[in-house]
Amino acid sequence: MSGAALWTGEEFAAAVGGRVIGTMPQTITGISIDSRTIKPGEAFFAITGDKMDGHDYAKAALENLGSIAVISEKKAPRVGRVWPAVIVDDVLAALTRLAVAARARSDAKIFAVTGSVGKTSTKEMLRLALGVDGEVHASVASFNNHWGVPLSLARLPKSAAYAVFEIGMNHAGEITPLTKLVRPHVAIVTNVEPVHLEHFASVNAIADAKAEIFTGLEPGGFFAIINADNAYAARLADEAKKYDAQIMTFGAAPDASARLLMYSVLSDRTAITASILGKDIAYSLGAPGRHLVQNSLAVLLSARLADVDVKAAAEALGQFQPPVGRGQRHVLHVRGGRATLLDESYNANPASMRAAIEVLGQTRSGRRIAVLGDMLELGHQSEDMHRELAGPLDQARVDLVFAAGPHMRALFDALPASRRGAWAATSAELEEAVLDAIKPGDVVMVKGSLGSKMGPIVAALNRRFAAAESAA
């Protein structure tokens, strides 16, 4: 995000508020909250997080060629002689003010995505599909919370023709302020599933929380895009109508605005035939999985509503690759041959776990091995929801299951002895058993909630079975 000016110094100071110490730079080339990755010319916002305080790194940010630091009045004495700086009442509030200014000056068509599963992959598909028609700005990684959305919006260039924002939540009321900040022209709900049940009385309550995204829709009958195949589609549509939204749907349902006609999952992609507002189109998605197929329909429908050429947008989806930890494939060089690793380690809930197991079942290689960590925040239903994965694992003809965590014990005990690889209380304790089990031809899928720490198992597999070992 270095190079071209994102903000003039004058615009930046006016939007952020507060008082300037030192000489204000003429231009700001980007916005950063990480002193380690800040680029020359970027402004550093000293955000206070759950584990770290950006004020401790403000000096390092400027030493790394940041152009200016934004720090709070209360913490300025502790930070010391760091300038140029803007001293503000609250750093997150100042970032939010900059986000408001970015949205106010933008002529881009704005898209917002939420849902229990598939937010990030849908956002990345939108980036590709809309990019055939003009400059696209989109959230990086999963910047979808109370600081990630303002940060992503503050980075919106005035020149962008399209902007895509991911909006997440795990409590009721969290989406409303974020969608009102983004003010989308198109709001997409990928699905509603039983996730974060620890914080909700029912899945109906989760649906209502997801429907908050419609509260920020720009007035004038803009679009709410809803999964027609989801059990909560009607509930979401009723909420969207309260905000004068035009309801559009996607899925296999006969009356869906973007309707799935046929699809075929191949080893590394999916061939799809769909009808987008009555016009049939055949295209290829650069990753396997029905859950991705569903969301690609929402993407092409969004492109059509934005007057983007749907054929060109569909062709662009052939380039789609799953984000890190969400289905990326790796080749493991095992002695005597190769195995395949499906990295689904970023996060997990019952819906995404089933989708990942389904993809594993569609592989056409040797043994299918699932390495699964606890799904968290499921409340009193957690044990049942883990145990119920035995059915999808059976349907997918998974040969061996390794499980980590106290909740996954319920699943492990429900499996027949022939499918039990190993169980351990933590992913670290399970790691060696997984490494020792891999053979040529295996397809290994690793998945779990962030808190179950399955990522290190993925890293260990890639280290152990690097190309050098194959040569040895």
2 is in an annotated binding site: no
41 is in an annotated binding site: no
Answer yes or no: are the C-beta atoms of 367 and 160 closer than 8 Å: no
Answer yes or no: are the C-beta atoms of 396 and 357 closer than 8 Å: yes
Task: Kindly provide the b/e burial profile for residues 64-88, where b requires at least 16 CB atoms within 10 angstroms of the residue's own CB.
Answer: bebbbbbbbeebbeebeebbbbbbb
Q: Give dist(CA 10, CA 143) in Å, integer.
A: 27
- Residue 36: which of 66, 76, 5 has the closest Cα? 66
Give counts: helices (H), strands (E), the chain.
Answer: 18, 22
Q: Using N-to-C axis directions, what is the helix angle for 290-305 and 350-361, rounded to 10°?
A: 110
Q: Which token pair is 411?
A: 């699943």
Q: Give dist(CA 352, CA 438) in Å, integer.
A: 24
- What are the angstrom distances between the C-alpha of 181 and each of 6, 14, 160, 165? 19, 18, 17, 11
17 is in an annotated binding site: no
Q: Give dist(CA 397, CA 228) in Å, integer.
A: 29
Q: Which token pair is 73?
A: 């009045």
Task: Kindly provide the b/e burial profile for residues 412-451, where b requires at least 16 CB atoms within 10 angstroms of the residue's own CB.
Answer: beebeeebebbbbeebeebbeebeebbeeebbbbbbbbee
Specify the 3-state DSSP secondary structure of 407: coil
Sole residue written with tokens 């933590």: 426
Answer yes or no: are the C-beta atoms of 333 and 465 closer than 8 Å: yes
Establish how many alpha carbons lie within 13 A of residue 48's alpha carbon, considering only the half-sphere containing its beta carbon.
Answer: 9
Q: Give dist(CA 177, CA 410) in Å, integer.
A: 38
Answer yes or no: are the C-beta atoms of 401 and 420 closer than 8 Å: yes
Q: Give dist(CA 348, CA 68) in Å, integer.
A: 38
117 is in an annotated binding site: yes
116 is in an annotated binding site: yes
Cα Rg for the chain, rounded, in angstroms?
A: 23
Answer yes or no: are the C-beta atoms of 71 and 82 closer than 8 Å: yes
Annotated binding-site residue numbers for ATP: 115-121
Annotated binding-site residue numbers: 115-121
